[in-house]
Protein backbone atom coordinates (compact mmCIF):
# COMPACT_ATOMS: atom_id res chain seq x y z
CA UNK A 1 0.00 0.00 0.00
CA UNK A 2 1.51 3.38 -1.00
CA UNK A 3 2.08 5.98 1.71
CA UNK A 4 -0.05 8.53 -0.18
CA UNK A 5 -3.20 7.97 -2.17
CA UNK A 6 -3.11 9.14 -5.77
CA UNK A 7 -5.28 12.21 -5.10
CA UNK A 8 -4.30 12.83 -1.50
CA UNK A 9 -4.72 16.54 -0.69
CA UNK A 10 -7.29 17.20 -3.43
CA UNK A 11 -10.65 18.55 -2.23
CA UNK A 12 -13.73 18.07 -4.41
CA UNK A 13 -17.11 19.76 -3.97
CA UNK A 14 -19.77 17.59 -5.61
CA UNK A 15 -23.11 19.27 -6.26
CA UNK A 16 -24.64 16.22 -7.98
CA UNK A 17 -26.90 13.55 -6.49
CA UNK A 18 -27.17 10.99 -9.33
CA UNK A 19 -25.73 10.25 -12.74
CA UNK A 20 -22.30 10.69 -14.32
CA UNK A 21 -21.10 13.45 -12.00
CA UNK A 22 -21.67 11.21 -8.98
CA UNK A 23 -19.80 8.39 -10.71
CA UNK A 24 -16.92 10.78 -11.32
CA UNK A 25 -16.70 11.86 -7.68
CA UNK A 26 -16.92 8.20 -6.68
CA UNK A 27 -13.70 7.46 -8.60
CA UNK A 28 -11.99 10.58 -7.28
CA UNK A 29 -12.86 9.66 -3.70
CA UNK A 30 -11.63 6.12 -4.19
CA UNK A 31 -8.32 7.51 -5.40
CA UNK A 32 -7.93 9.53 -2.22
CA UNK A 33 -9.62 12.88 -2.89
CA UNK A 34 -11.58 14.49 -0.05
CA UNK A 35 -15.06 14.62 -1.60
CA UNK A 36 -17.69 16.83 0.02
CA UNK A 37 -21.24 16.21 -1.17
CA UNK A 38 -23.17 19.47 -1.33
CA UNK A 39 -26.89 18.82 -0.90
CA UNK A 40 -30.02 20.92 -0.38
CA UNK A 41 -31.41 21.79 3.04
CA UNK A 42 -34.38 19.66 4.25
CA UNK A 43 -36.95 22.33 3.39
CA UNK A 44 -36.22 21.65 -0.30
CA UNK A 45 -37.84 18.23 -0.08
CA UNK A 46 -38.68 18.23 -3.77
CA UNK A 47 -35.01 18.08 -4.76
CA UNK A 48 -33.90 15.60 -2.13
CA UNK A 49 -32.66 12.39 -3.76
CA UNK A 50 -31.71 9.51 -1.49
CA UNK A 51 -30.35 6.56 -3.51
CA UNK A 52 -30.57 3.06 -2.02
CA UNK A 53 -27.74 1.94 0.22
CA UNK A 54 -25.95 0.07 -2.56
CA UNK A 55 -26.06 2.88 -5.14
CA UNK A 56 -22.88 4.78 -5.99
CA UNK A 57 -21.04 2.72 -3.37
CA UNK A 58 -23.12 4.40 -0.64
CA UNK A 59 -20.96 7.53 -0.95
CA UNK A 60 -18.24 5.77 1.00
CA UNK A 61 -15.33 7.94 2.04
CA UNK A 62 -17.31 11.15 1.50
CA UNK A 63 -18.69 13.84 3.78
CA UNK A 64 -21.82 15.93 3.32
CA UNK A 65 -22.82 19.55 3.75
CA UNK A 66 -26.37 20.93 3.36
CA UNK A 67 -26.73 24.41 1.87
CA UNK A 68 -29.63 26.47 0.56
CA UNK A 69 -27.91 27.69 -2.59
CA UNK A 70 -30.88 29.92 -3.43
CA UNK A 71 -30.18 32.04 -0.36
CA UNK A 72 -27.45 34.64 -0.02
CA UNK A 73 -26.05 32.88 3.02
CA UNK A 74 -26.00 29.46 1.37
CA UNK A 75 -24.35 30.87 -1.75
CA UNK A 76 -21.72 32.69 0.29
CA UNK A 77 -21.05 29.55 2.35
CA UNK A 78 -20.51 27.57 -0.85
CA UNK A 79 -18.11 30.17 -2.23
CA UNK A 80 -16.25 30.08 1.09
CA UNK A 81 -15.85 26.32 0.68
CA UNK A 82 -14.90 26.70 -2.99
CA UNK A 83 -12.15 29.16 -2.08
CA UNK A 84 -10.25 26.29 -0.48
CA UNK A 85 -11.26 23.52 -2.88
CA UNK A 86 -9.50 22.10 -5.93
CA UNK A 87 -12.45 20.77 -7.93
CA UNK A 88 -16.14 21.55 -8.29
CA UNK A 89 -18.41 19.08 -10.07
CA UNK A 90 -21.98 20.00 -10.99
CA UNK A 91 -24.70 18.54 -13.18
CA UNK A 92 -27.40 21.20 -13.31
CA UNK A 93 -28.85 22.23 -16.65
CA UNK A 94 -26.84 24.89 -18.52
CA UNK A 95 -27.04 28.30 -16.90
CA UNK A 96 -28.37 27.20 -13.50
CA UNK A 97 -25.14 27.55 -11.51
CA UNK A 98 -24.57 31.02 -12.96
CA UNK A 99 -28.07 32.10 -11.94
CA UNK A 100 -27.35 30.79 -8.44
CA UNK A 101 -24.12 32.77 -8.31
CA UNK A 102 -21.89 29.71 -7.96
CA UNK A 103 -20.77 29.20 -11.56
CA UNK A 104 -17.20 29.11 -12.80
CA UNK A 105 -16.83 32.89 -12.99
CA UNK A 106 -17.95 33.37 -9.39
CA UNK A 107 -15.80 30.52 -8.07
CA UNK A 108 -12.75 31.52 -10.11
CA UNK A 109 -13.00 34.98 -8.59
CA UNK A 110 -12.29 33.50 -5.15
CA UNK A 111 -10.04 30.66 -6.33
CA UNK A 112 -8.02 31.06 -9.53
CA UNK A 113 -6.82 27.47 -9.30
CA UNK A 114 -10.28 25.86 -9.33
CA UNK A 115 -11.03 23.06 -11.77
CA UNK A 116 -14.74 23.46 -12.46
CA UNK A 117 -16.42 20.53 -14.20
CA UNK A 118 -19.97 20.76 -15.56
CA UNK A 119 -21.46 17.43 -16.65
CA UNK A 120 -24.59 17.49 -18.76
CA UNK A 121 -26.25 15.26 -21.31
CA UNK A 122 -25.54 17.36 -24.38
CA UNK A 123 -23.12 20.00 -23.15
CA UNK A 124 -23.45 23.71 -22.49
CA UNK A 125 -23.98 24.65 -26.15
CA UNK A 126 -25.79 23.36 -29.20
CA UNK A 127 -29.46 22.84 -30.13
CA UNK A 128 -29.94 19.99 -27.62
CA UNK A 129 -28.17 21.63 -24.69
CA UNK A 130 -31.42 22.11 -22.74
CA UNK A 131 -32.86 18.67 -23.50
CA UNK A 132 -33.45 16.19 -20.71
CA UNK A 133 -32.07 12.71 -21.16
CA UNK A 134 -30.69 9.55 -19.62
CA UNK A 135 -28.14 6.90 -20.50
CA UNK A 136 -30.26 5.30 -23.24
CA UNK A 137 -30.80 8.63 -24.99
CA UNK A 138 -27.09 9.36 -25.26
CA UNK A 139 -26.33 5.86 -26.50
CA UNK A 140 -29.05 6.37 -29.09
CA UNK A 141 -27.83 9.66 -30.56
CA UNK A 142 -24.16 8.62 -30.49
CA UNK A 143 -24.62 5.57 -32.72
CA UNK A 144 -23.98 2.98 -30.03
CA UNK A 145 -27.42 1.40 -30.09
CA UNK A 146 -27.56 1.25 -33.88
CA UNK A 147 -24.30 -0.69 -34.04
CA UNK A 148 -25.16 -3.07 -31.18
CA UNK A 149 -27.11 -6.32 -31.24
CA UNK A 150 -30.80 -6.67 -31.96
CA UNK A 151 -33.65 -7.74 -29.70
CA UNK A 152 -36.36 -10.28 -30.67
CA UNK A 153 -38.32 -7.52 -32.42
CA UNK A 154 -35.37 -6.70 -34.64
CA UNK A 155 -34.76 -3.39 -32.88
CA UNK A 156 -31.66 -2.28 -30.97
CA UNK A 157 -31.16 -4.26 -27.77
CA UNK A 158 -31.16 -2.53 -24.41
CA UNK A 159 -27.59 -2.47 -23.03
CA UNK A 160 -26.75 -4.42 -19.90
CA UNK A 161 -24.87 -1.54 -18.29
CA UNK A 162 -25.09 2.25 -18.17
CA UNK A 163 -22.23 2.71 -20.62
CA UNK A 164 -23.01 6.38 -21.30
CA UNK A 165 -23.34 7.43 -17.66
CA UNK A 166 -20.33 5.41 -16.53
CA UNK A 167 -17.78 5.67 -19.34
CA UNK A 168 -18.92 8.48 -21.63
CA UNK A 169 -19.91 10.66 -18.67
CA UNK A 170 -18.27 9.65 -15.41
CA UNK A 171 -14.88 8.49 -16.67
CA UNK A 172 -14.88 11.26 -19.27
CA UNK A 173 -15.19 13.74 -16.39
CA UNK A 174 -12.52 11.97 -14.32
CA UNK A 175 -10.03 12.07 -17.20
CA UNK A 176 -10.74 15.74 -17.88
CA UNK A 177 -10.42 16.66 -14.19
CA UNK A 178 -7.14 14.79 -13.77
CA UNK A 179 -5.77 16.41 -16.94
CA UNK A 180 -6.79 19.86 -15.68
CA UNK A 181 -5.19 19.21 -12.29
CA UNK A 182 -1.98 18.20 -14.05
CA UNK A 183 -2.01 21.41 -16.09
CA UNK A 184 -2.68 23.46 -12.97
CA UNK A 185 0.38 22.00 -11.32
CA UNK A 186 2.41 23.80 -13.99
CA UNK A 187 0.43 26.98 -14.58
CA UNK A 188 -1.30 27.54 -11.25
CA UNK A 189 -4.49 28.27 -13.18
CA UNK A 190 -7.67 26.27 -12.98
CA UNK A 191 -10.05 25.77 -15.88
CA UNK A 192 -13.64 25.19 -16.86
CA UNK A 193 -14.59 21.76 -18.21
CA UNK A 194 -17.73 21.31 -20.31
CA UNK A 195 -18.26 17.54 -20.18
CA UNK A 196 -21.06 16.26 -22.41
CA UNK A 197 -22.17 12.64 -22.05
CA UNK A 198 -23.26 12.54 -25.70
CA UNK A 199 -19.81 13.82 -26.72
CA UNK A 200 -18.32 11.02 -24.68
CA UNK A 201 -20.42 8.43 -26.55
CA UNK A 202 -19.21 9.98 -29.79
CA UNK A 203 -15.62 9.37 -28.66
CA UNK A 204 -16.43 5.80 -27.64
CA UNK A 205 -17.86 5.22 -31.13
CA UNK A 206 -14.91 6.78 -32.95
CA UNK A 207 -13.68 3.49 -34.43
CA UNK A 208 -16.96 2.95 -36.29
CA UNK A 209 -17.56 6.61 -37.10
CA UNK A 210 -14.03 7.21 -38.38
CA UNK A 211 -14.37 4.15 -40.62
CA UNK A 212 -17.54 5.61 -42.08
CA UNK A 213 -15.90 9.00 -42.62
CA UNK A 214 -12.89 7.42 -44.31
CA UNK A 215 -14.53 4.64 -46.30
CA UNK A 216 -18.16 5.70 -46.66
CA UNK A 217 -19.39 2.32 -45.44
CA UNK A 218 -22.17 2.51 -42.87
CA UNK A 219 -21.42 0.41 -39.76
CA UNK A 220 -24.16 -1.63 -38.14
CA UNK A 221 -24.72 -4.89 -36.25
CA UNK A 222 -22.31 -7.59 -37.40
CA UNK A 223 -20.74 -5.15 -39.81
CA UNK A 224 -17.24 -5.04 -38.46
CA UNK A 225 -14.55 -7.21 -36.99
CA UNK A 226 -15.51 -6.20 -33.44
CA UNK A 227 -19.29 -6.45 -33.85
CA UNK A 228 -19.64 -10.06 -35.03
CA UNK A 229 -18.91 -10.08 -38.76
CA UNK A 230 -16.67 -13.10 -38.39
CA UNK A 231 -17.25 -16.43 -36.67
CA UNK A 232 -14.16 -16.06 -34.49
CA UNK A 233 -15.57 -12.94 -32.75
CA UNK A 234 -18.94 -14.06 -31.49
CA UNK A 235 -20.91 -15.72 -28.70
CA UNK A 236 -21.60 -19.46 -28.60
CA UNK A 237 -23.89 -21.63 -26.50
CA UNK A 238 -22.41 -24.60 -24.65
CA UNK A 239 -24.04 -27.95 -23.91
CA UNK A 240 -25.38 -26.81 -20.53
CA UNK A 241 -26.97 -23.63 -21.88
CA UNK A 242 -24.13 -21.41 -20.73
CA UNK A 243 -22.45 -19.03 -23.15
CA UNK A 244 -18.88 -18.38 -24.24
CA UNK A 245 -17.35 -15.23 -25.63
CA UNK A 246 -14.86 -15.82 -28.45
CA UNK A 247 -12.52 -13.04 -29.57
CA UNK A 248 -9.70 -14.77 -31.45
CA UNK A 249 -8.63 -11.80 -33.59
CA UNK A 250 -4.91 -12.39 -34.01
CA UNK A 251 -3.98 -15.18 -36.48
CA UNK A 252 -2.12 -17.07 -33.75
CA UNK A 253 -5.13 -17.07 -31.46
CA UNK A 254 -7.43 -18.00 -34.34
CA UNK A 255 -5.20 -20.94 -35.23
CA UNK A 256 -5.17 -22.11 -31.62
CA UNK A 257 -8.98 -21.89 -31.51
CA UNK A 258 -9.43 -23.92 -34.70
CA UNK A 259 -7.07 -26.57 -33.38
CA UNK A 260 -8.77 -26.83 -29.99
CA UNK A 261 -12.22 -27.07 -31.61
CA UNK A 262 -11.03 -29.64 -34.16
CA UNK A 263 -11.94 -27.19 -36.91
CA UNK A 264 -8.56 -27.02 -38.62
CA UNK A 265 -10.12 -26.95 -42.07
CA UNK A 266 -10.71 -23.24 -41.50
CA UNK A 267 -7.10 -22.36 -40.67
CA UNK A 268 -6.51 -20.63 -44.01
CA UNK A 269 -9.90 -18.92 -44.14
CA UNK A 270 -9.94 -16.50 -41.23
CA UNK A 271 -11.06 -13.51 -43.32
CA UNK A 272 -12.79 -15.44 -46.08
CA UNK A 273 -16.31 -13.98 -46.28
CA UNK A 274 -17.58 -17.09 -48.05
CA UNK A 275 -16.45 -19.21 -45.11
CA UNK A 276 -18.07 -17.13 -42.36
CA UNK A 277 -21.38 -18.97 -41.98
CA UNK A 278 -20.13 -22.55 -42.40
CA UNK A 279 -17.29 -21.73 -39.99
CA UNK A 280 -19.79 -20.28 -37.52
CA UNK A 281 -21.89 -23.45 -37.80
CA UNK A 282 -18.86 -25.64 -37.14
CA UNK A 283 -17.85 -23.57 -34.13
CA UNK A 284 -21.40 -23.68 -32.76
CA UNK A 285 -21.54 -27.46 -33.17
CA UNK A 286 -18.20 -27.86 -31.41
CA UNK A 287 -19.11 -25.66 -28.46
CA UNK A 288 -22.40 -27.51 -28.07
CA UNK A 289 -20.56 -30.72 -27.18
CA UNK A 290 -19.30 -29.62 -23.74
CA UNK A 291 -20.38 -27.50 -20.80
CA UNK A 292 -19.43 -23.84 -20.55
CA UNK A 293 -16.98 -24.14 -17.68
CA UNK A 294 -15.19 -27.09 -19.26
CA UNK A 295 -14.55 -25.06 -22.37
CA UNK A 296 -13.53 -21.98 -20.40
CA UNK A 297 -11.07 -23.86 -18.20
CA UNK A 298 -9.43 -25.51 -21.21
CA UNK A 299 -9.52 -22.71 -23.77
CA UNK A 300 -8.85 -19.75 -21.45
CA UNK A 301 -5.20 -20.63 -20.77
CA UNK A 302 -4.66 -21.96 -24.32
CA UNK A 303 -4.28 -18.52 -25.97
CA UNK A 304 -7.63 -18.70 -27.74
CA UNK A 305 -9.29 -15.56 -26.27
CA UNK A 306 -12.28 -17.53 -24.99
CA UNK A 307 -14.10 -16.60 -21.78
CA UNK A 308 -17.23 -17.73 -19.99
CA UNK A 309 -20.13 -15.27 -19.99
CA UNK A 310 -20.66 -14.83 -16.25
CA UNK A 311 -23.84 -13.86 -14.44
CA UNK A 312 -23.47 -11.27 -11.67
CA UNK A 313 -23.41 -13.86 -8.82
CA UNK A 314 -20.58 -15.60 -10.68
CA UNK A 315 -18.73 -12.33 -11.16
CA UNK A 316 -18.87 -11.69 -7.42
CA UNK A 317 -17.39 -15.13 -6.73
CA UNK A 318 -14.81 -15.02 -9.53
CA UNK A 319 -11.30 -15.92 -8.46
CA UNK A 320 -9.61 -13.33 -10.68
CA UNK A 321 -11.49 -10.41 -9.15
CA UNK A 322 -10.95 -11.90 -5.71
CA UNK A 323 -7.20 -12.08 -6.28
CA UNK A 324 -7.18 -8.47 -7.47
CA UNK A 325 -9.07 -7.11 -4.46
CA UNK A 326 -12.09 -6.35 -6.59
CA UNK A 327 -14.52 -6.21 -3.66
CA UNK A 328 -14.55 -4.60 -0.25
CA UNK A 329 -16.85 -4.43 2.77
CA UNK A 330 -18.17 -1.26 4.34
CA UNK A 331 -20.43 -0.66 7.33
CA UNK A 332 -23.51 1.29 6.33
CA UNK A 333 -25.32 3.15 9.14
CA UNK A 334 -28.72 1.64 8.25
CA UNK A 335 -28.00 -1.37 6.03
CA UNK A 336 -25.22 -2.81 8.18
CA UNK A 337 -22.21 -4.50 6.60
CA UNK A 338 -22.48 -4.53 2.84
CA UNK A 339 -20.10 -5.81 0.20
CA UNK A 340 -19.27 -3.54 -2.71
CA UNK A 341 -17.11 -3.28 -5.78
CA UNK A 342 -13.80 -1.93 -4.52
CA UNK A 343 -11.95 1.11 -5.78
CA UNK A 344 -10.36 0.82 -9.22
CA UNK A 345 -6.61 0.41 -8.82
CA UNK A 346 -7.52 -1.30 -5.55
CA UNK A 347 -3.89 -1.55 -4.47
CA UNK A 348 -3.67 2.25 -4.41
CA UNK A 349 -6.47 2.70 -1.90
CA UNK A 350 -6.67 1.87 1.80
CA UNK A 351 -10.13 0.30 2.01
CA UNK A 352 -10.26 0.91 5.75
CA UNK A 353 -10.58 4.65 5.08
CA UNK A 354 -13.68 4.24 2.92
CA UNK A 355 -16.26 4.68 5.65
CA UNK A 356 -19.93 5.31 4.96
CA UNK A 357 -21.22 8.26 6.89
CA UNK A 358 -24.76 8.50 8.20
CA UNK A 359 -26.44 10.63 5.54
CA UNK A 360 -29.12 11.74 8.03
CA UNK A 361 -26.42 13.53 10.03
CA UNK A 362 -24.64 16.02 7.75
CA UNK A 363 -21.11 17.27 8.39
CA UNK A 364 -22.07 20.88 7.72
CA UNK A 365 -20.71 22.44 10.91
CA UNK A 366 -17.41 20.56 10.80
CA UNK A 367 -16.82 21.32 7.13
CA UNK A 368 -17.66 25.00 7.39
CA UNK A 369 -15.53 25.35 10.52
CA UNK A 370 -12.63 23.68 8.71
CA UNK A 371 -13.12 26.23 5.91
CA UNK A 372 -12.67 29.05 8.41
CA UNK A 373 -16.17 30.06 9.48
CA UNK A 374 -16.60 30.80 13.16
CA UNK A 375 -19.17 29.12 15.37
CA UNK A 376 -21.12 32.40 15.49
CA UNK A 377 -21.17 32.66 11.68
CA UNK A 378 -22.29 29.06 11.36
CA UNK A 379 -25.04 29.62 13.92
CA UNK A 380 -26.28 32.69 12.05
CA UNK A 381 -26.42 30.76 8.80
CA UNK A 382 -28.40 27.99 10.48
CA UNK A 383 -30.81 30.46 12.06
CA UNK A 384 -31.38 31.98 8.64
CA UNK A 385 -32.12 28.55 7.13
CA UNK A 386 -29.14 28.84 4.77
CA UNK A 387 -27.55 25.64 6.05
CA UNK A 388 -28.63 22.47 7.82
**Catalytic residue numbers?**
134, 165
d(CA 266, CA 257): 10
- Residues 16 and 28 sit within 8 Å (Cβ to Cβ): no
What letter does residue 46 receive in the DSSP assignment? Answer: G
Is beta strand 327-332 parallel, antiparallel or unpaired with respect to 336-341? antiparallel
Q: Is 190 helix (H, G, I), strand (E, B) or coil?
A: coil
Is beta strand 62-66 parallel, antiparallel or unpaired with respect to 34-39? parallel
Strand residue runs (E) in 123-199: 191-196
Question: Where does residue 60 fall: left (phi above 0), alpha (psi -120 to 50 degrees), or beta otherwise?
Answer: beta
What residues have CB less than 8 Å from 242, skipping those under 6 apart?
A: 291, 292, 293, 308, 309
- Residues 363 and 64 sit within 8 Å (Cβ to Cβ): yes
Amino acid sequence: MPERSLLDGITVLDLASVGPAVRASRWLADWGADVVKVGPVPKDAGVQIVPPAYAYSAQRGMSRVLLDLKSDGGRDAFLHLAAGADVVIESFRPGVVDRLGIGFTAVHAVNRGIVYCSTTGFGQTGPRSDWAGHDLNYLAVGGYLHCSGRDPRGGPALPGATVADSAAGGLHAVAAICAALTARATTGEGTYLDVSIADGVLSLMSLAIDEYLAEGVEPGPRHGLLTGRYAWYDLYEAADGGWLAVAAIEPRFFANLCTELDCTRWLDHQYDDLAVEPMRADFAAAFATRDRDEWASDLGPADTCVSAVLAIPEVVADEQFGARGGFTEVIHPTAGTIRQVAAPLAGQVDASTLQVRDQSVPDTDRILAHAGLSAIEIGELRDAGAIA
